[in-house]
Homo-oligomer: A and B are copies of this chain.
Amino acid sequence: MEKKEEGMNEEQVWKELDEETLFIVSQTFKALSDPTRIRILHLLFDKEYSVNQIADQLELRQSTVSHQLRFLKNLRLVKFRRDGTTIYYSQDDEHVMTMLNQTIKHALHH
């Protein structure tokens, strides 16, 4: 029951995940672990929405939506375009959206 540190000279060689990979992976899943962010991404599945449209549809405060969009934007899960004073957000990570969709389908079958 000894630890494997530098040696790695035992029956199994286990590649531990490096810290950066671990960080990216955990952040990605963290984005999908909050009900509010899930609802926002789910809404953005089909088309773009402005911040206020999202707030209206999901009955959330404007600042709540804005904060969460910043989070999603930092992870590049959403992108935006400006039209006058209005900013439209849309999805920007196919892999993540696919995972979300799959998991929702999975969950819907009880």
Which chain B positions have C-beta within 8 A of A59?
A: 3
When all copies of this chain in the complex are counted, the total is 2
Q: B25 to A103, Cβ gap below 8 A? A: yes
Per-position binary interface string of chain A over residues 1-45, scored 1 when its CB falls under 8 Å from any chain B CB and 0 otherwise: 111100000000010110001111111111011110011001100
- Can you report 25 residue pairs joining A to B where beta carbons are below 8 Å apart? A1-B53, A1-B56, A3-B59, A4-B56, A17-B42, A21-B108, A22-B38, A23-B35, A25-B32, A25-B38, A25-B103, A25-B104, A25-B107, A26-B33, A26-B34, A26-B35, A27-B33, A28-B103, A29-B29, A29-B32, A30-B33, A32-B33, A33-B33, A99-B102, A99-B103
Query: Which residues does A use to contact B, with CB under 8 Å?
Result: 1-4, 14, 16-17, 21-30, 32-35, 38-39, 42-43, 52-53, 56-59, 95, 99-100, 102-104, 106-108
